[in-house]
Amino acid sequence: MEVLRTPDERFANLSGYPFDPNYINVTAADGTPIRIHYLDEGPRDGEPILCMHGQPSWSFLYRKMIPRLTEAGYRVIAPDLVGFGRSDKPASEDDYSYRSHVDWMSQWLRALDVKDLTLVCQDWGGLIGLRMAADHLDRFKRIVVANTGLPASDRITDEVSAMLGEFEKTVPVPTVDMVREQVGSGAPGGFLYWVKYCKASPDFSVRDVFGMMSGIEDKAILDGYEAPFPDARYMAGARQFPSLVPLLPRHKQDREDNDDAWAKLETFDGPVLTAFSNNDPVTAGGEAPFQARLKGARGRDHPTIDGGGHFLQEGAPDQLSDAIIKFMAETA
């Protein structure tokens, strides 16, 4: 496995990101060492919050929330997934699978060896973070689910998967405007335009993704999100991620793995909060299964994050932070 490492100078003087790096090494299935970067901020005796990002972001996504959470007395731990941020980047798209991402981050979690965690997860941070939590329930005290999901066989049946597989064959390589239109329409197969754009578009751009999903125009912020990717060679993980969402017939084993994770999460005794934004076309309605299936979520007043967009840590960081702080104080 060829592994790339973004030069440190790419991360110098990023807007609003003054944090010191920390690293833990894990091992790929073929024995290749992979270095995972993470932030570890706030008092060491504070209750720990594990903040998991998605695609194509990195711990930079939490830069506005970290000071607010640490000022409230919490310890904030925010890793970069493999292929993102300051973490190492396997160079081939074939190096990435859903199972490998879960394995890499589970190794990292065990090496970190922290307990009583509150998981905060969004986008792929949920697909991976919830699997980590399911396999290590003894390390987690609470779960906060924000603009994410855990696709499994109850919602993505074999029939639905087969239908999406047939539709996938008809999807052209889209422009970013086509993706915006299809995802925004709420059409059942709209997400597959996003998959095809990331996988095959010669014009794939991290800047365009954040412009499309959150309307960000500030150059300094966009520079921060683009910093991990000096050129196209570093983008294999970002391009591959949407293709790993377990929707299609080839993903049946991943859905079954998620079935197992749901079964474990349904035994979780800790409090659960959903905090979805009201204007995310990707995960709209995704809070319902968590509120219904996880006993720690039942009977709770779940906030709706107003105007946060898909990247609600960017669009509504104070509102999301305050919801987390309130939740943790109420369930201390």
- Find the farthest-apart pair of alpha carbons in the chain and give their distance in angstroms, rounded: 54
Residue 123 falls in the annotated catalytic set = yes
Residue 251 annotated in active site: no
- Residue in 28, 269, 261 with CA at minimum distance from that of residue 130: 261
Cβ(320)–Cβ(275) under 8 Å? Answer: yes
Question: Which stretches within 113-202 are classed as H helix?
Answer: 124-135, 158-168, 176-185, 190-200
C-alpha pair distances (Å), 306 with each of 25, 236, 287: 38, 33, 15
Secondary structure class of 144 (helix, strand, coil):
strand
Looking up tokens 């932070």 gives: 321
* Residue among 279, 321, 75 nearest 184 (CA): 279
Strands 276-277 and 140-146: unpaired
- What are the helix and strand counts (H, E) for the chain? 13, 11
Beta-carbon contacts of 280 under 8 Å, excluding residues fewer than 6 positions away, are 147, 308, 309, 310, 312
* Candidates 80, 123, 208, 254; catalytic one: 123
How far apart (Å, rounded) are the C-alpha atoms in residues 218 and 33? 36
Q: Would you give the distance in Å from CA 203 to the centre of its chain?
A: 23
30 is catalytic: no
Q: Do residues 86 and 37 make contact, with C-beta atoms less than 8 angstroms apart?
A: yes
Contact (CB, 8 A) for 19 and 69: no
Of 80, 88, 103, 280, catalytic: 280
Closest by CA to 80, choosing from 57, 106, 103, 49, is: 57
Write out the catalytic residue numbers: 123, 280, 310
